[in-house]
Amino acid sequence: MVNLLDFDVDGLTAWFARLGEKPFRARQVLRWMHRAGRDDFGQMTDVAKSLRAKLAEIAEIRGPRPIGDSVAADGTRKWLLDVGTDNAVEAVFIPEVSRGTLCISTQVGCALDCAFCSTGKQGFNRNLTTAEIIGQLWHANRALGAVKAPGMPDESERVISNVVLMGMGEPLANFDALVPALRLMLDDHGYGLSRRRVTVSTSGIVPAMDRLREAAPVALAVSLHAPGDALRDRLVPINRKYPLKDLMAACRRYLENSPRDFITFEYVMLEGVNDSDAHARALLNLVRDVPSKFNLIPFNPFPDSGFRRSRPERLRRFQEILLEAGIVATVRKTRGDDIDAACGQLAGQVKDKSRRVMAMAQPMEAWQ
């Protein structure tokens, strides 16, 4: 059976053409799938009965199966979604007064092994398919009641107004499945989100950043976490392959097509590791020719991490140095930490097939 969630609009149109169907049929089915959240071809009332019967025989609409649903005290909601072979991924909805943000995953686990991230400590199994990536948004819309049949008036406000690909995995390491999912998020027959409201987070896979700039240039967030190569090599090991000089150059190139006029840099604040005044001043020098916004993230502890969260007064001082230099710097509010849904805490249930031996965290002195 062909899972139609795997297709963006061009892919579904081509597939329908092979069935001898006109392009508008693909757009009809796309709207029923994504805008109405339907998985039953029989309910697609403006699609010809003969086509509905044919689709029921050869195709399906199958998103990841929910096996867990938790709601935090602050309203954050986390779903655990079954992706087969004893594995699950997590998606998190963060409600706020002015927007609703869905954080979704792109891989089962993560192979990049960033030192401060619990997901990386779970190992890596596989990439998600397009259906499994977009299926998280498809499921969340259904679970939140944010679906409507084609022909119904558009709602003035979306329940999910923003999507961030900041969950489990490195999105750009799963490029071929990522791009069709992004195109569905942006397409008016899919979810119709603005490019400014879809954000891909990357640890800095430079060639893929250049490809994304051409294929689906949405907003970009770069997991930075250190102002120099020596420290970043240890915190974010991909830096050994794509050092900061190359990463900053890729950021400048990305801005040529970006829907935003700045790059967001994510920076986890680790006590005694990367949070000194000197680190803040080194950051200013690093991004001096890259229009930037910094998102300072209080570290969310997990067992045996070996790190501590920066003290509030140290975080404030670090932020002040950036602000005084004219750099926008915000502190990310910790949301959903009572259900392990906060940044860096997503681990799901991952069966590590990489057989990678994970070393215990080094003593704090080694990071200074």
pLDDT in tens, 74-103: 899 999 999 988 889 999 999 998 899 999
Fold classification of 65-367 is: TIM Barrel (3.20.20)
Q: Please compute Rg for the chain using Cα positions.
A: 21
**Diameter of the chain by CA atoms?**
69
Distance CA(321)–CA(281), nearest Å, equals 7
Q: Phi then psi for 292, rounded to 5 degrees?
A: -140, 155
Distance CA(240)–CA(228), nearest Å, equals 12
pLDDT of residue 334 exceeding 80, the answer is no
Q: Are 162 and 199 in contact (CB under 8 A)?
A: yes
Catalytic positions, written as ranges: 90, 343
Rounded to an integer, the average pLDDT of 209-219 is 97
Token pair for 164: 């961030």
3-state secondary structure of 53: helix
pLDDT in tens, 340-364: 545 444 445 555 444 333 332 333 3
Distance CA(265)–CA(221), nearest Å, equals 6
Q: Are 257 and 214 in contact (CB under 8 A)?
A: yes
Rounded to an integer, the average pLDDT of 296-300 is 93
Residues in the chain: 368
In the block, which residue shows the tokens 């300072």? 296
Token pair for 158: 């979306």
Domain ranges of the chain: 2-60, 65-367
Rounded to an integer, the average pLDDT of 128-152 is 88
Q: Are 277 and 320 in contact (CB under 8 A)?
A: no
pLDDT in tens, 165-204: 999 999 999 999 999 999 999 999 999 999 999 999 999 9
Q: Supply the pLDDT for residue 367.
A: 35
Q: Supply the pLDDT for residue 246.
A: 98
Rounded to an integer, the average pLDDT of 294-299 is 95
321-to-228, 247, 272, 284 alpha-carbon distances in Å: 17, 23, 17, 9
Higher-confidence residue of 290 and 97: namely: 290
Band of pLDDT at residue 304, cut at 50, 70 and 90: confident
Q: Are 332 and 343 in contact (CB under 8 A)?
A: yes
Instruction: Work out the angle at residue 296's Cα, subtended by the Cα atoms of residues 338 and 95, and round it to the nearest 5 degrees.
Output: 45
pLDDT in tens, 107-127: 998 889 898 888 777 788 899
- % of the chain residues with pLDDT over 90: 76
Distance CA(101)–CA(221), nearest Å, equals 15
Band of pLDDT at residue 149, cut at 50, 70 and 90: low
| Nearest C-alpha neighbor of 127 from the set 182, 63, 84, 66 | 84
Q: Supply the pLDDT for residue 77.
A: 95
Q: Supply the pLDDT for residue 336.
A: 55
* Amino acid symbol at 103: C
In the block, which residue shows the tokens 């067992």? 303
pLDDT in tens, 32-69: 999 999 999 999 999 999 999 999 999 999 999 999 99
Rounded to an integer, the average pLDDT of 290-307 is 91
pLDDT in tens, 59-70: 999 999 999 999
Sign for the CA dihedral angle at 171, 176, 179, 180 comes to negative
Alpha helix (H) residue ranges in the chain: 9-18, 23-34, 49-58, 130-143, 175-186, 206-215, 229-235, 244-254, 277-286, 312-324
Average pLDDT, the chain: 89
Q: Strands (DSSP E) along the chain, which ranges?
A: 2-3, 59-60, 65-71, 77-84, 87-95, 100-103, 107-109, 124-127, 162-165, 198-202, 219-223, 263-269, 292-298, 328-331
Phi-psi region of 136 (alpha: psi -120 to 50; beta: other; left: phi over 0): alpha
CATH class of domain segment(s) 2-60: mainly alpha
Which burial class, exposed, middle or buried, applies to 175 when counting CB atoms under 10 A from its CB (0-12, 13-18, 19+)? middle
Distance CA(182)–CA(168), nearest Å, equals 16
3-state secondary structure of 292: strand
| Nearest C-alpha neighbor of 167 from the set 178, 156, 157 | 178
